[in-house]
Amino acid sequence: MPAPEPGRAPGRRTARFGVVDPATGETVDEVPDQHPDELDAVVGRAHRAWRGWRADPAARATALRVAADAVETAGGSLARLLTREQGKPLAESYAEIDRTAARLRYFADLAPRTRRITDGRPVHSEIRWRSLGPVAAIVPWNFPLQLAAAKFAPALAAGNTMVLKPSPFTPLATRLLGSVLATALPEDVLTVVTGREPLGARLASHPGIRHVTFTGSVPTGRAVAGAAAASLARVTLELGGNDAAVLLDDVEVDRIADRLFWAAFRNCGQVCMAVKRVYAPARLHAEVVEALARRAKTVAVGPGLDPETRLGPVSNAPQLARVEQVTKRALADGARAAAGGHRLDGPGCFFAPTILTDVPPDSPVVTEEQFGPVLPVLPYRSLDEAVDAANGTGFGLGGSVWGADPDRAEAVAGRLECGTAWINHHAELSLAQPFAGVKNSGVGIAGGPWGFYGNLRPFVVHRPQEE
């Protein structure tokens, strides 16, 4: 067993770490750096709370609806804190809070369906559904609240309890959300824990956890799956993406340019299913680059709390360093920045919105997930070439096809190897849809009834039919 870090020995609960505002570089606040040994008590309490929580579906649904109201009431405080620690424009923080409340209401309305099996045998067979127990949720820093809600809303609605670990970059709004939810939920039904690694790894491997639901990068997802193997807990992984937008030769560039730009740059490009690569017909390539570069050069970049801001800072210093590194590498590989291409002066983590052209297809900004305000635009000569390039990645989260004829675009979209495809837009999701990536983009299904059943187990009863 590794030696405890200084100041993190069991019983010493005073260790804390600072959370930095990426717009200013200032520390917003500190949170407890919880020792992994604290998880035994936390998971134990979650297990005891499960007994009462699982027993009464109607009371659960009512509590979740009250929780949704409480989230909306606290919306202003949650949104400001979220913007300060994450960087996104305030309007996007409010949208995240709306989606958090919407998820609570959506899943509060779901109930598992008991089903009879009718297979001709003289047996009355019935499939019922039962909750699993304490669920561990581990989430990233790009959408701290709505991704947490995507996990706790279905898990709690299904009768489980939850231990939720936010990213150490964005724990503040999640902690506030935890206390808001505590006004509506019984004690220990949802517990937020904060701390640096190995807190997440220990949570994923804790023997009292029955389902580990994780959103984050592919390498961490692999580590989480490995950790959960210790207790053979169920694992759901929502991982990275490298979504392609394929533009067809009949596309009206001016008409789609705004939508395409925001599909790539919303939340400063830090969206698992942002457009991360654009494939344009060679004939239209220069026009597409020019339309996107115009927007990149004029979009209002600034602190998220400024009402004029449309694009905030990159969310944290390590991510800024990564965005800068993949961009420099692309430029060194022969790419040209039609807009941006560099970080911006000042104390915050600002990077100029960047459109790259002449990018070699094997440059990491194309083959990997850049997760920032940088977009490569690549030309193609034949549609087969474009579809092959779009699919030629280890990821498979989403993809989109853009053109004047939606039927033709939809036919091309059907050839994309991904979980969700869009025509003439990108990354719009319904609460009622299954959300599942293929290849390295994920394991298991979140969203809709599928995500709900992902938090339940079947319990089947067979009884001979009466004479």
What residues are annotated to the active site? 238
131/236 with CB nearer ligand NAD: 236
Please state the φ and ψ torsions of residue 131, each to the nearest 5 degrees: -75, 170
Question: Whole-number minimum distance, CB 242 to ligand NAD, in Å?
Answer: 9
- Per rule CB under 6 A, count of chain residues that contact ligand NAD: 30
What is the per-residue burial (b if ≥16 Cβ within 10 Å, else e) of 75-108?
Answer: beebbbbbbbbbbbbbebbbbbbebbbbbbbbbb
Cα dist from 350 to 93, 324, 353, whole Å: 18, 10, 9
Contact characters 102-131, ligand NAD, x per CB under 6 A: ------------------------------
If one asks whether residue 168 binds ligand NAD (CB under 6 A), the answer comes out as: yes
Closest of 307, 346, 349, 303 to residue 324, by C-alpha: 349
Question: Whole-number minimum distance, CB 433 to ligand NAD, in Å?
Answer: 13
403/437 with CB nearer ligand NAD: 437
Q: How far apart are CA 198 and CA 351, in angstroms?
A: 30
Among 369, 401, 412, 447, binds ligand NAD (CB under 6 A): 369
If one asks whether residue 409 binds ligand NAD (CB under 6 A), the answer comes out as: no
Which among 31-39, 100-108, 212-220, 455-463 is the span making contact with ligand NAD, rule CB under 6 A?
212-220
Instruction: Name the residue with the smallest CB distance to ligand NAD.
Output: 200
3-state DSSP helix/strand/coil percent for the chain, to nearest 5? 40, 20, 40
What is the per-residue burial (b if ≥16 Cβ within 10 Å, else e) of 350-369?
Answer: bbbbbbbbbbeeebebbbbb
Q: Tell me the sheet residues that pair with 19.
A: 29
What is the per-residue burial (b if ≥16 Cβ within 10 Å, else e) of 315-333?
Answer: bbeebbebbbebbeebbeb
Closest of 143, 150, 201 to residue 170, by C-alpha: 143
Cβ proximity of 243 and 165 under 8 Å: no
159/241 with CB nearer ligand NAD: 241
If one asks whether residue 137 binds ligand NAD (CB under 6 A), the answer comes out as: no
Which among 153-161, 214-222, 279-287, 342-350 is the span making contact with ligand NAD, rule CB under 6 A?
214-222
If one asks whether residue 268 binds ligand NAD (CB under 6 A), the answer comes out as: no
If one asks whether residue 243 binds ligand NAD (CB under 6 A), the answer comes out as: no
And the tokens for 162? 């939850």
288/397 with CB nearer ligand NAD: 397
348/398 with CB nearer ligand NAD: 398
Which among 26-34, 47-55, 112-120, 139-147 is the span making contact with ligand NAD, rule CB under 6 A?
139-147
If one asks whether residue 223 binds ligand NAD (CB under 6 A), the answer comes out as: yes
CA 438 remoteness from chain centre: 15
Among 15, 66, 95, 217, binds ligand NAD (CB under 6 A): 217
If one asks whether residue 216 binds ligand NAD (CB under 6 A), the answer comes out as: yes
253/431 with CB nearer ligand NAD: 431
200/312 with CB nearer ligand NAD: 200
If one asks whether residue 239 binds ligand NAD (CB under 6 A), the answer comes out as: yes
Closest of 204, 136, 148, 190 to residue 173, by C-alpha: 148
Q: How far apart are CA 337 and CA 355, in angstroms?
A: 6
Among 93, 131, 142, 161, binds ligand NAD (CB under 6 A): 142
If one asks whether residue 195 binds ligand NAD (CB under 6 A), the answer comes out as: no
Closest of 395, 427, 435 to residue 218, by C-alpha: 395
If one asks whether residue 39 binds ligand NAD (CB under 6 A), the answer comes out as: no
Please report, as residue ranges, which positions from 419 to 438 form the binding site for ligand NAD (by CB under 6 A). 437
76/226 with CB nearer ligand NAD: 226
Cα-atom radius of gyration of the chain, to the nearest Å?
Answer: 23
Question: Whole-number minimum distance, CB 360 to ligand NAD, in Å?
Answer: 23
Pairing of the two strands 243-247 and 123-131: unpaired
Q: To the nearest 10°, the Cα dihedral for 5, 9, 13, 18? A: 0
Question: Whole-number minimum distance, CB 270 to ligand NAD, in Å?
Answer: 7
- Chain position carrying tokens 């026009």: 287
The 3-state DSSP class for residue 62 equals helix
Q: Which residues bind ligand NAD (CB under 6 A)?
A: 138-142, 147, 165, 167-168, 197, 200-201, 204, 215-217, 220, 223-224, 227, 238-241, 272, 369, 371, 397, 437, 442
